[in-house]
């Protein structure tokens, strides 16, 4: 087993342990909530016999560690149980909602990643010029505001005043692809403004750092233009930190969009999580939280693996 395979397996093992710890925290966090779940769901008018029967149905009469392993085992098999608010299987609700969240994240990434990389390369190419300063100030200003503030500003400008895009981003399976794009324009633009700055600044900083290397000086001495040096020599050698920040921002696009989904009433997993919390639908809260955690950990593992694969020293340890 070479060095690269060993490091990747260690990362995967650490990711599995992290998920186990997170699952315990999610379960214990729900357990620590005040009040009795059965009484909260049935209401004050329920008889003690009804409450006790409902507790047995929810397996609340069993010890906590038994319920934890039962819940985790069912989750691994894809059985998330039934919702307490409507009795429907949680997997059916989460599947559609999670696909909507991935759709929003995918469209945003398709716009934000190329834009951030191009802006970062241009900022490095025209370092310390007015273009570099304008791009840096603009992106840092966008990221300095909370997501909900950016969202409401865009709603005021592009929905209320100009009616270009809908303020409520409701999508259905019956809509065409372009109708969905029109519906998610504002949340997509909001997320793009939020994540571009991170990726652009890291691309710029990584390329500028590589430009101080001896092989770049040799390329200059050969008469290569600055644009060719950055595109063909500096950028490929700066990929490792750039990949890391891009994948981490993709993780944010999937698991950190709760506020944006709530603002635009977007039918994603984040909106479902907020609704479940307000209804005290704890099985949905647990399932949604663990799915978010799994997605984030998997994307972090992907970032680590891609960063290592882009590192020649790890690809060729000998």
Q: What are the tens digits of pLDDT across the range 66-112? A: 888 888 888 888 888 888 777 788 888 888 888 898 899 999 999 99
Token pair recorded at residue 225: 């233009």
3-state secondary structure of 82: strand
Alpha helices in the chain (DSSP H): 3-31, 37-42, 48-57, 64-76, 90-125, 130-144, 147-155, 177-183, 185-210, 214-221, 226-229, 235-237, 239-255, 258-263, 269-278, 282-309, 312-315
pLDDT digits (tens, 9 = 90+) for 121-132: 888 888 888 888
pLDDT at position 188, please?
Answer: 92
Q: Which two tokens stand for residue 293?
A: 């955690």
Cβ pair 80, 280 in contact under 8 A: no
Q: How many CB atoms lie within 10 A of CB 58?
A: 17
The single residue listed with the structure tokens 């620590």 is 32
Quote the CA–CA distance of 86 and 224 in Å, as a whole number: 66
241 or 260, higher pLDDT: 260
Q: 2-6, 136-140, 160-164, 182-186: lowest mean pLDDT where?
A: 2-6
* Cα separation, 236 vs 248, whole angstroms: 19
CA separation (Å) from 315 to 11, 159, 179, 270, 308?
A: 16, 50, 44, 38, 7
Which residues pair with residue 82 across a beta bridge?
89
The structure's pTM equals: 0.82
**Mean pLDDT value of segment 207-212:** 82
Task: Report whether 281 contacts 290 (CB < 8 A).
Answer: no
- The percentage of the chain sitting over the pLDDT mark of 70, rounded to a whole number, equals 92
Q: Output phi, psi for 82, to 5 deg.
A: -115, 150
* Closest to 194 measured CA to CA, from 240, 264, 252: 252
Q: What is the token pair recorded at 216?
A: 């770049």
Which residue, among 294, 300, 254, 251, has the nearest Cα to 72 in the 3D structure?
294
Topology of domain 90-315, per CATH? MetI-like fold (1.10.3720)
Segments of the chain assigned to CATH 1.10.3720.10: 90-315
pLDDT at 311: 63
Q: Is 183 within 8 Å of 170 (Cβ atoms)? A: yes
Residue range 274-302, pLDDT digits in tens: 888 887 788 888 888 899 888 888 888 88
37 pLDDT above the threshold of 80: no
CA–CA separation, 142 and 114 (whole Å): 18
CA torsion through residues 161, 105, 134, 148, sign: positive
Q: What is the CA radius of gyration of the chain?
A: 24
d(CA 245, CA 120): 13
């Amino acid at each position: 087993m070479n060095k690269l395979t060993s490091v990747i397996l260690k990362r995967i093992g650490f990711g599995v342990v992290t998920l186990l710890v997170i699952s315990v925290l999610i379960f214990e966090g729900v357990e620590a909530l005040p009040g009795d779940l059965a009484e909260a769901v049935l209401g004050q008018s329920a008889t003690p016999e009804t409450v006790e029967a409902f507790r047995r149905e929810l397996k609340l009469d069993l010890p906590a560690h038994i319920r934890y392993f039962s819940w985790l085992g069912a989750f691994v098999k894809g059985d998330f149980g039934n919702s307490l608010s409507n009795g429907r299987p949680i997997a059916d609700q989460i599947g559609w909602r999670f696909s909507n969240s991935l759709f929003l994240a995918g469209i945003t990434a398709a716009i934000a990643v190329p834009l951030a990389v191009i802006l970062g390369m241009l900022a490095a190419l025209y370092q310390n010029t007015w273009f570099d300063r304008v791009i840096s100030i603009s992106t840092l200003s966008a990221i300095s505001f909370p997501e909900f503030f950016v969202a409401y500003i865009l709603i005021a400008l592009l929905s209320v005043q100009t009616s270009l895009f809908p303020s409520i981003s409701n999508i259905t399976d019956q809509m065409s692809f372009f109708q969905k794009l029109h519906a998610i324009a504002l949340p997509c633009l909001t997320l793009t403004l939020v994540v571009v700055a991170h990726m652009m600044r890291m691309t710029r900083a990584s390329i500028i750092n590589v430009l101080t290397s001896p092989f770049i000086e040799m390329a200059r001495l050969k008469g290569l233009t600055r644009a060719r040096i950055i595109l063909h020599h500096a950028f490929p050698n700066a990929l490792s930190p750039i990949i890391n920040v891009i994948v981490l921002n993709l993780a944010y696009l999937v698991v950190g969009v709760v506020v944006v989904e709530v603002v635009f009433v977007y039918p994603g997993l984040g909106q479902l999580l907020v609704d479940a919390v307000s209804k005290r639908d704890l099985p949905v809260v647990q399932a949604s939280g663990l799915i978010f955690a799994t997605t984030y950990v998997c994307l972090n593992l992907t970032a680590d693996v891609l960063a290592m694969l882009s590192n020649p020293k790890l690809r060729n340890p000998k």
